[in-house]
Structure 1
Amino acid sequence: MRRGVTGAVLRYGLWVALGTAAFPPGALSAQQPDSTRLQIFERLRQLARPPGLDSTLLVDDSTAAARRGQGPGAGQGLAGFDSIAGRLLQLPGFEVTRYQGAGAEFGAAERRLSLIGTEERKPLVARADFELTADTAIDFDEERGLVTARGAAEFRRPDGEPLTSRQLIYDLNADRGTALGARTVYNEGANWQVAGDLTSVQPGLFWGRHISFTSCELDEPHYHFATGEIKWVSDNWFVARNVTLRFADVPVMWLPFIAQGLGTGRSSGILAPTFSINDIVRTSGSYRRRISNLGFYWAMSDYTDAKIAMDWFSDRFFALQGGFNYFWARQFLRGGINYREYWETGGGRQRTLNTQNNWEISERTSVAVNASYASAGSFVRQNTFNPLELTQSIDSEGRFTRRFDWGSLNVGANRKQFLTDDRVTMTLPNASLSLSPLTFFQAPANRERWYNNLSWSGGMGFNRDITDNPAQSPDSAFVLSRADLITTRGNLTSSFTLGNFGFSQQASFNERLNRDIPGAALFEPGDTTVNLGVSDVAESTIDWSATLDYQLRTFGSLVVTPRYRVSGQLLRSDQIEAAQEFVSAPRRSSFGVGVKADVYGFWGGFGPFEAIRHKITPQLDYDYAPAVTPTDLQREVFTGAREIRRRNQISLSFNQTFEAKLNPEAQAQADSAQMVQDSLAVADSLAALADTTAQGQALAAQGARRPRAAARGDRPEPTRPPAGTQPIQLLGIGLSAVQYDFVLADSTGRWEEGLQNQELQVRLTSDYLRGISPSLSFDLFDRGADRSGEKQFSMHLSSVNFGFALSSNSAILRWLGLGGRRGSPVPDRTAALPPDNPLVDDTGSQETTIVPRTEDPFRGGGEQRSGGRGFNASFNYSLRRPRYATETDELITANVSFSPTRSWDVTWRTSYDRIQGQFLDHIVRLTRDLHRWDAHFDFVQTVNGNWTFRFEVQLKDNSDLKFDYRQRSLDNAR
């Protein structure tokens, strides 16, 4: 018995043994009898029984069945097997080929088999690696190894889509086929429908002529590419020539050739250049053409890649950009760097840089370096088309974090480059060390003595701030506040807590160094000792203090905290002749007390409210320090300073809220409809604004004291009622702390001088207007335009800030009948609101920005748009209104997105200056869903006057395939 690839003997044995099940009895009558067949029938005759199945073989061998089930024709073969067929199938070293049909013709001399089919029983040939069916017949030529299908045929592989054709020839020896009039699907990033004459089809590869392909699954596709010749390598690339893009049957574009990668991962290759039609055929003599992203991408490994590309902008610059990215998952290390070098048309040379790096060295140690840089802010202002790049600073930051068993260490640095005035600020270094609290003489609460559970905590910090301002004009008066400044700070803190007693110590160092100060700016006019040179002027202080306090909770929520404090200071100043070295101020002793309480008032309800509660939270802080007797040197150095005069001052903060409890019926409705959980969102800017207010600082100080109170075993503050019974805040009013110094008021005879606050800040909140949280600031005193006059109490609204967001499910819009139905699902606000820059350049060229962005090539692509997302909007209002300055700012920013139809998306971001009465910038995008294509209509205008318009049609399945028209202008740049 001969073994081979085709397994001839096995195939013929199967035919004879199972012929009666597969074909009519007369199907083989015209052929010469086979010796093996005669031997089988002779054996059956001797057994004196008709052919049939051996009862011991009714159950097929599981191993053979599993082997047969691996082929594509499993389950579609013959109905059953006798003992001989079962044993033949189990023979090792053979490859099984299965045949099926209504009839067959076999030529022994030519070694040629023809399977005849009918409409009910089509011919089939199946092996482990393919399956072939046809309408009419299948011819198998063993000598040549050819399988030919007559009539409509279908060819299948286990790991591929079926291929149908009107005629098919397959070479078993070469594992290659030819299909005329073929249709199949290739899943290479999309479901590509391929039709035409495939002259050569091999596993993972085909050549074709007169091929059309499209990703549109409709019977009448909206578009398709018609090619003269094509070569397609699965999961790799394809190349075609004589390519015509047709929408329906209308040709819209012809290309001599097209080459495209098909892999879903990263692969090396030429970048897709970015240009528009009018960059090739200029429609105006003044139009500046631009071609960018012309370069090469190199996927060096699974963990690293690099690219280099050029950018040419007519009459502006020529640029080269290089980038490198890495991602080593096992080392938890990832990042990248992008660098651009610009050669200006006028001869200048600029450079920009962006890098992001993050390394998780261990569970306790991490390092991060994120940096951006531009050699000249004016170059960015003149050439950028990104509105946000002009309004944001160019930031860099680096940090090292290490956690120990006994504390944590943080070392960092940051740099900010402001494009508005070319100012640069830098903090280098910024270090802090926090020590974990230590508890001495630990004991449980039921056995503790007065000395048990003594706790200690401490820490230290150091930072150095550098401010580099633009050079001042020599023709104008020198302004000291605009000089370059270096500020160095350091501090040490320590705190002991024992029961309700607290003992804390603090020491700090502060140095201000003004650089390059002209001598004339430091002295009075006419002083003959003036040094007309330029020098640095420094002033340094060292402060220390020790505080002992006792926290006493009396009744209700009233907490009284008396304290005693000892403090001192050392001063050195280049501007004080007697303080060229450190001079110590008199040691001060001060006494103080802090009082805090919650006062409640209850009122009857109205409407859906069962009761109203008015809560007032006053916090009073009093501090007294007697006068000291300074030496002559101390009096000369600290004349008029608070370090030597008597101090008698009070501080008062006052917050109040009006809360309501819903009646049971209204509460049930609120729970079901989620009335309280309105979709209005708090603007991010408000949280940042609150942190800068004195009220925010007071709240932070309160929060800092809470851990100590908990350590002392104080009763916990009352918790809010559980969900479902939580009261609703109708109105909350928060005021910043007010400080008053009685000594200053008595010394001047005017009460206004005693009020230390220059501003009063107010913040309003409400659960029914969640997100609309106004913050107002009032200037309290009028000192005249030059700020040299006496204080005159005169409240002046100096600033207003608030923001809010709306969606189609907001309560306000529902009440007006403009939103969704009550109880309908709230859309994802994060995904629905416009991003910071809705016109992100997906091509990778980033031609709208001057400072590059570091991309993450190891992250998957974003999702496609989905229409019908509803209405989403966010608004922010900011007013800055100095009392005498003429530069009043009133700015409104808005982000709006909605889908007027399921196929259209609209996004608009803008800023409006109400004082100037004009819009500062715009980002407008209209997107039309064209099934497998997207059409974009974009308009961008920056605050410096640069604008660009783009119309683009982009294939969803291949973002590099697009047709666009762009118009841009730099003529109005200012």
Structure 2
Amino acid sequence: MHDQLLLYSRGMRRNNTFTIKFLYALIWVMVLSGVALPAYAQKTKHAAKDTLTTKNVQDTTTVKSKGTQNKSQLTDKIVYQANDSIVFYGDGTGMMYGNGDIQYQKMELKANYIRMKMDSSLVYAMGTKDSTGQLVGEPSFKDESNQFDAKELTYNFKTKRGFIHHTVTQQGEGYIVSDLTKLTSDKTFYMSNMQYTTCDHTDHPDYYIQLTRAKVKPQKYIVSGPAYLVIEDVPLPLALPFGYFPFTSKYSSGIIVPSYGDDFTRGFYLHNGGYYFALNDYMDLALTGEIYTKGTWAVNAISTYVKRYKYRGSLNFSYRQDITSEKGMPDYGKSTNMSIQWTHSQDSKASLYSTLSGSVNFSTSGYNRSNINNVYDPTLMSQNTKSSSINFSQRFPNSPFTLSANANITQRTADSTINMQLPNLTVTMSQIHPFKRANTVGPEKWYDKIVMSYSGSFANSIQTKENKLLHSSFSRDWQNGFDHQIPVSATFNLFKYISITPAVNYEERWYFKSVQQRWNSNTQSVIRDTTSGFYRSYNFNASVTANTTIYGFFIPNRKIFGDKIDRIRHVFKPSISFTYNPDFSNPIWGSYKTYDKYVQDSQDPQRMDKETVLYSPFEGGIYGYPAAGKSGAIGYSFSNNVEMKVKEKSDTTDQPVYKVVSLIDNFSWSGSYNLATDSLRWSLINANLRLKLPFSKSYTLNLSGTFDPYLYGLDANKNPVHINQLRWAHGKFPRFMGTNFSQSFTISDQTFKHNSSGNKENTNQEQPSQQTTLMNNTDIPSLYNAQQDTVKKQTKPSSSEVDADGYEKPQFHWSLSFNYSLLYGQSSIFNYHTMEYGMQWTQNLSLNGTISPTPKWNINWSASYSFANKQFTQINIGITRDLHCWSMSAQLVPVGYYTSYMVRIAVKSSLLEGLKYQKSSSFQDNVNWE
């Protein structure tokens, strides 16, 4: 069975071509999307249940008969049954009471009351009233091509003609209700006083399209007379004189009707009109366009494709020329922009060894600003960066090698900067034991433990402006090269408890150009000459690391502390390493070159001072170049963990029960000391503290900081610089340089409900979602979305949502989320009195929440607060109201760069998406330029 695509418009799934004359485009979209659905071959909303047999009947009389045949009128057997009784009269009339069911050939009729005349093959069916006066058992009819419900039905088995009162048929998302329907022998329906609606209250819909008369030819067409829109039983002066709608149940092509409107700066317009192409069972294409009276135009191409168990994706391309105002006016503007969006994903079942995925979002810098469809969306208008990537990977079975390729593009729309990496190729080899014996005999040798791996990559990138990208030179403007890395290491045990890991890392770079530098004494500047060729640059380093784990236990004095605290455990993990890097600026390595720089002496203009400048020909290379200077650094890292074992209440067996309480989850500090330099040998000290707070099992507080061990002094130009004087040598603690902290927190009505209920089980189930959010510092999506789902699902009160008097309890749901970040760090202001840089605070706070006073109302909002300006910088408010088959929404941006409003009332069904009223503010009148 072929895969069916997600079509561009649901209303196009059954329409291929159409011709219509219309007065108003709004009614055109509604009738096209709704009435052009076949009134046959769909399940009815009020379809009867499965046929009942005598085994299910509990009445005193149950009659079931088979094989009745009237040879003068009927050509096949009639199978009929009823739950209550069947009565036959001498004139050939039969009456069935109680869930009657008649089957003749491919036709089946069910109703609570059925009357049939055998001599004329005429059958009449209707529903009956129960003890409460409600009509039940209404007729339900189906054959090989039709299925519908009705109030009353008259049908002739022989001529296959019928007359139906109040037909109800469900067609996709909508319903067709006809007051009177005539069914002919050629399967043609003639309908009178017909309604189409997406409201499931078919007896009294909130809105419908009234069709006075219509002729339906199954699988061919619908011809309708005058039609008009009715909302809340009020006819509106929006009408069509007639309509012709061909249709098919197959996936097919068709015209996309445009919408129209008026824009202040562009004029009147036709929007999103074009043609839909059903290319095949795996791919479609929609070509649409826009045109404005003042010259703006645009073309769009949208395609989706899918192949089951293989891949799926979509492509959206847009090219537009925007013209605002008129020539000669001061606000006249003209811009040409384009956008391409492509997504592709591969099914995991398609291949075990290769994958391909893509996510492309590329557009010119002015696309969002000029596109009228985006100006009311603050998210798109404030978007400053865009990223695109395409990734491919290939694994080779029974091999340690993996090949991957990717392309990345990053845009900054603020200044039209493009950073493109195309392509990036990487070959990796997982760890192998090159010297390990195939058949190990005896104890493991030292060379059996040696492991090595390989990583090779090729990169080609450029950073430029949009208008210069296509004019760039590959040899001059693009950066490219190869990089190879080979790490080799092994791990041994020393004195049983100390782990020793020696390692050697080799890196080699291949470049295709180098930059030679020389000094021009006449212009007093550096001249750079780019030469092409093949160039190698390599470096290596060696290191050895020793680490171990030390455990310590402290048992408090029982006389002082009692037996509440069993013991305290301290886990200490020290790590010492030594890393050596040669000085690759030494001429023997060939990584650096020099040139002589001559500068006039400020005291004697006739004298030239000579200075030798060291440089690398690979400065600016995509993989960098070896560092100058020798390094022999001793690195250190110390990690601590402190836990306490606490006695709880004894269980029923009087056995003590203990729990572990974390006092310090982790406290660590690290740094290095460089033996190869003559000054400033100590590096900055990095410290980290992680605490598990006692009020939560999952909430974790993380703090980090940096400390400077050296004092500041002034150079010859009176600028502050580090001097080779340690702070602790002058009785000072290393200077704290700053820290940062960020946290997210969510509270809701469910949070307090669980806390106040005293139910430990419910509390444990609710809290982890909230506490995990706090620990991960995420944007609190999980609990927020859960609240949204709760509001959506609780549209009907359950038995637990009523009070003691049987009334429904009010359902008021809310959630509030805080996102706070704090940065305390060194400022750029130097205090010459204390000889230290000043410190400053930087804070950011964002809030968002939702309020649902009833299941039908929902209010969401978000705000950002600037502590520097002491005011809110952005506020967004959204209000939605569920009106059954309608939806009302409002968006308001009272504070921010794009202050605006939007009010919209529309039908929720996608089939009638054109049936809406929308009012928006003009973005040009509301932009805050301050």
Aligned to 1:651: 635
Alignment of 1:754-903 (within 5 A): 754-757=681-684, 760=686, 762=688, 764-766=690-692, 768=695, 770=698, 773-774=701-702, 776=704, 778=706, 780=708, 789-791=720-722, 795=735, 800-808=740-748, 822=763, 870-878=813-821, 883-884=827-828, 890-903=843-856
Aligned to 2:365: 377
Q: Which moved more, 1:169-178 or 1:815-824?
A: 815-824
Aligned to 2:505: 506
| 1:442 CA displacement | 5.0
| 1:939 CA displacement | 3.3
Query: In the aligned structure 1, how far is the partner of 2:302 from the partner of 2:490?
Result: 54
Aligned to 1:969: 922
Query: In the aligned structure 1, how far is the partner of 2:288 from the partner of 2:852?
Result: 37
SS in 2 for 1:380: helix
| 1:352 CA displacement | 0.8
Aligned 8 A contact 1:608 1:666 in 2? no
1:397 is aligned, of 384, 389, 399, to 389
Query: In the aligned structure 1, how far is the partner of 2:177 from the partner of 2:280?
Result: 32
Aligned to 2:463: 468
| 1:351 CA displacement | 0.7
| 1:359 CA displacement | 4.3
The alpha-carbon distance between structure 1 residues 485 and 889, as it changes in their structure 2 partners (threshold 3 A), is farther
Query: In the aligned structure 2, how far is the partner of 1:727 from the partner of 1:203?
Result: 82
Aligned to 2:322: 344
Aligned to 1:229: 213
| 1:292 CA displacement | 3.9
Aligned 8 A contact 1:596 1:617 in 2? yes
| 1:418 CA displacement | 2.0
Query: In the aligned structure 2, how far is the partner of 1:262 from the partner of 1:905?
Result: 39
| 1:338 CA displacement | 1.0
SS in 1 for 2:827: coil
Query: In the aligned structure 2, how far is the partner of 1:199 from the partner of 1:817?
Result: 63
Cα deviations by residue, 1:726-765 (Å, 9 ceiling, x for unpaired): 7454554555632333554xx45xxxx33333x8464645
Query: In the aligned structure 2, how far is the partner of 1:492 from the partner of 1:104?
Result: 99
The alpha-carbon distance between structure 1 residues 447 and 161, as it changes in their structure 2 partners (threshold 3 A), is farther
2:673 is aligned, of 716, 719, 740, to 740
Alignment of 1:357-376 (within 5 A): 357-359=344-346, 362-374=351-363, 376=364
1:156 is aligned, of 141, 144, 151, to 141
Query: In the aligned structure 1, how far is the partner of 2:915 from the partner of 2:451?
Result: 66
SS in 2 for 1:197: strand
Cα deviations by residue, 1:592-636 (Å, 9 ceiling, x for unpaired): 553443454547689998665454444333457899996799898
Query: In the aligned structure 2, how far is the partner of 1:265 from the partner of 1:660?
Result: 71
2:549 is aligned, of 591, 597, 602, to 597
Query: In the aligned structure 2, how far is the partner of 1:316 from the partner of 1:732?
Result: 66
Aligned to 1:410: 404
Aligned 8 A contact 2:212 2:225 in 1? yes
The alpha-carbon distance between structure 1 residues 298 and 943, as it changes in their structure 2 partners (threshold 3 A), is farther
Larger Cα-atom Rg: 1
Query: In the aligned structure 2, how far is the partner of 1:918 from the partner of 1:227?
Result: 57
Aligned 8 A contact 2:220 2:248 in 1? yes
Amino acid at match of 2:392: F
Query: In the aligned structure 2, how far is the partner of 1:239 from the partner of 1:956?
Result: 24
Query: In the aligned structure 2, how far is the partner of 1:316 from the partner of 1:819?
Result: 67
Aligned 8 A contact 1:377 1:422 in 2? yes
Matching of residue 542 in structure 1 with residue 483 in structure 2: no
Query: In the aligned structure 2, how far is the partner of 1:211 from the partner of 1:244?
Result: 11
Aligned to 2:304: 325
Aligned to 1:102: 87
Q: Comparing both structures, which one devotes a greater share of its residues to strand?
A: 2
| 1:354 CA displacement | 1.0
Aligned 8 A contact 1:893 1:909 in 2? yes
Query: In the aligned structure 1, how far is the partner of 2:247 from the partner of 2:489?
Result: 67
SS in 2 for 1:822: helix
SS in 2 for 1:347: strand
SS in 1 for 2:744: strand
Query: In the aligned structure 2, how far is the partner of 1:629 from the partner of 1:827?
Result: 55
Query: In the aligned structure 1, how far is the partner of 2:378 from the partner of 2:783?
Result: 10
Amino acid at match of 1:164: A
Matching of residue 927 in structure 1 with residue 880 in structure 2: yes
Aligned 8 A contact 2:889 2:903 in 1? yes
Query: In the aligned structure 1, how far is the partner of 2:911 from the partner of 2:211?
Result: 18
Cα deviations by residue, 1:471-527 (Å, 9 ceiling, x for unpaired): 99xxxxxxxxxx97836451231436486586654332458999999x9xx979x76
Amino acid at match of 1:175: K
Cα deviations by residue, 1:75-100 (Å, 9 ceiling, x for unpaired): 69984779xx69999xx994436599
The alpha-carbon distance between structure 1 residues 530 and 444, as it changes in their structure 2 partners (threshold 3 A), is closer
- Percent of paired sites with the same residue: 14
The alpha-carbon distance between structure 1 residues 418 and 80, as it changes in their structure 2 partners (threshold 3 A), is closer
The alpha-carbon distance between structure 1 residues 343 and 866, as it changes in their structure 2 partners (threshold 3 A), is farther
Structure 1: which 5+ runs fail to align? 1-69, 107-112, 473-482, 548-562, 564-591, 669-723, 839-862
| 1:960 CA displacement | 1.6
The alpha-carbon distance between structure 1 residues 528 and 250, as it changes in their structure 2 partners (threshold 3 A), is closer
| 1:400 CA displacement | 2.0
Cα deviations by residue, 1:420-450 (Å, 9 ceiling, x for unpaired): 4433222333222222444565579994442
Aligned 8 A contact 2:713 2:720 in 1? yes
Aligned to 1:621: 577
Query: In the aligned structure 1, how far is the partner of 2:226 from the partner of 2:275?
Result: 25
Cα deviations by residue, 1:97-156 (Å, 9 ceiling, x for unpaired): 6599533354xxxxxx54467xx68997542412265858444564xx654569987243
Aligned to 1:486: 479
Amino acid at match of 1:341: Y
2:151 is aligned, of 142, 165, 168, to 165
| 1:308 CA displacement | 1.9
Aligned to 1:422: 416
Query: In the aligned structure 2, how far is the partner of 1:211 from the partner of 1:610?
Result: 83
Query: In the aligned structure 1, how far is the partner of 2:288 from the partner of 2:649?
Result: 67
Aligned 8 A contact 2:180 2:193 in 1? yes
The alpha-carbon distance between structure 1 residues 652 and 827, as it changes in their structure 2 partners (threshold 3 A), is closer
Query: In the aligned structure 1, how far is the partner of 2:172 from the partner of 2:548?
Result: 69
SS in 2 for 1:348: strand
Cα deviations by residue, 1:380-400 (Å, 9 ceiling, x for unpaired): 356544444434632221222
Alignment of 1:622-641 (within 5 A): 622-623=578-579
Aligned to 2:180: 197
| 1:542 CA displacement | 2.6
| 1:968 CA displacement | 3.6
The alpha-carbon distance between structure 1 residues 455 and 289, as it changes in their structure 2 partners (threshold 3 A), is farther
The alpha-carbon distance between structure 1 residues 377 and 790, as it changes in their structure 2 partners (threshold 3 A), is same
Give the root-mean-square deviation of aligned CA atoms: 5.7
SS in 2 for 1:737: strand
Query: In the aligned structure 1, how far is the partner of 2:779 from the partner of 2:722?
Result: 51
SS in 2 for 1:491: strand
Structure 1-normalised TM-score? 0.61
Q: Comparing both structures, which one devotes a greater share of its residues to helix?
A: 1
The alpha-carbon distance between structure 1 residues 367 and 114, as it changes in their structure 2 partners (threshold 3 A), is same
Aligned 8 A contact 1:72 1:130 in 2? no
The alpha-carbon distance between structure 1 residues 731 and 73, as it changes in their structure 2 partners (threshold 3 A), is closer
SS in 2 for 1:320: strand
Alignment of 1:220-299 (within 5 A): 221-230=205-214, 242-251=226-235, 254-256=238-240, 268-271=253-256, 279=261, 292-299=271-278
The alpha-carbon distance between structure 1 residues 122 and 294, as it changes in their structure 2 partners (threshold 3 A), is closer
